[in-house]
Amino acid sequence: MEFTELESSLREQAIRSSLMAGKPKLYYFNGRGRMESIRWLLAAAGIEFVEEFLETREQYEKLLQDGALLFQQVPMVEIDGMKMVQTRAILGYIAAKHNLYGKDLKERALIDMYVEGTRDLIDLIRVHHKFSPEEQEKNLALINERATARYFPVYEKVLKDHGTEFLVGNQLTWADVQLIEAILMVEEKVSTVLSKFPLLQDFKTRICNIPTIKKFLQPGSQRKPPPDESYVVTANRVFNRK
């Protein structure tokens, strides 16, 4: 490269770096997995973020050697000078920082109960693609059962009793964001799952129309598609599995 080309390339990099400084940086695979809830929450909060996708074993080993992964695991998010790990810790930090964690201890308690419930439902779907076809059939029945008999009746009742647009308090919280994520994930598997839950249908329409969330749901956003075969292959390669 000629000197002037090198200089301008370095200047470009410096400008790019300084533009990116301040934005959270997400380290994960190019797929949903455990990072997707974090993408949802940042997007809902209107926070722009950048991503570094793990594609090779070498990238992962470099992160390990650099001491960037506290417990040798991803997700990892560089945010506010910290290298945060553990999905729930990251979500809790983002929620608290961006006024999505309620106004007091009691609202926090409700939000925590609700997000733990939807987390359990999301986790059933998150691992679905790892199963054999026979196991997937059983898992699909379990997802449907849990959604329609355990989780969605609870949130339908919360909306009914609470009487506002949101699960907790009078404004959007982490609980709403994680519920809409869960609803859309279940609908990808069982398209009629909300048929007996009219208030959740209204909730879905309202929340999906919030500008930041609407934007996240449009093509070209950082929202990831459901996992496919190449995602499984990449994860196995990076983690030296099977």
Interacting residues toward a copy of itself by CB under 8 A: 70-72, 80, 82, 84-89, 92-93, 96-97, 105-106, 108-109, 112-113, 116-117, 120, 150-151, 154
Q: What is the token pair recorded at 38? A: 């974090």
Pairing, β 76-79 against β 25-28: antiparallel
Query: Least distance to a copy of itself from the beta carbon of 30, Å?
Result: 24
For 32, 37, 84, 163, 199, the CA distances from 126, given in Å and listed in that order, are 8, 11, 21, 31, 25
Nearer to a copy of itself, 85 or 200 (CB): 85
Compute the distance between CA of residue 168 and CA of residue 114 in angstroms, rounded to an integer.
9
Nearer to a copy of itself, 15 or 113 (CB): 113
Compute the distance between CA of residue 36 and CA of residue 46 in angstroms, rounded to an integer.
15
Phi, psi values for residue 58, rounded to 5°: -60, -40
Strands (E), the chain: 25-28, 50-53, 76-79, 82-85
The residue type found at 208 is C
Query: Least distance to a copy of itself from the beta carbon of 105, Å?
Result: 6
Nearer to a copy of itself, 146 or 224 (CB): 146
Compute the distance between CA of residue 90 and CA of residue 105 in angstroms, rounded to an integer.
19
**Between helices 105-126 and 152-162, what is the axis angle to 10°?**
150
Query: Least distance to a copy of itself from the beta carbon of 133, Å?
Result: 25
Query: Least distance to a copy of itself from the beta carbon of 89, Å?
Result: 4
Compute the distance between CA of residue 163 and CA of residue 20 in angstroms, rounded to an integer.
41
Query: Least distance to a copy of itself from the beta carbon of 160, Å?
Result: 14
Query: Least distance to a copy of itself from the beta carbon of 14, Å?
Result: 29
28: which strand partners? 53
Query: Least distance to a copy of itself from the beta carbon of 114, Å?
Result: 9
Nearer to a copy of itself, 39 or 108 (CB): 108
Nearer to a copy of itself, 31 or 92 (CB): 92
The residue type found at 227 is P
Nearer to a copy of itself, 69 or 199 (CB): 69
Nearer to a copy of itself, 89 or 235 (CB): 89
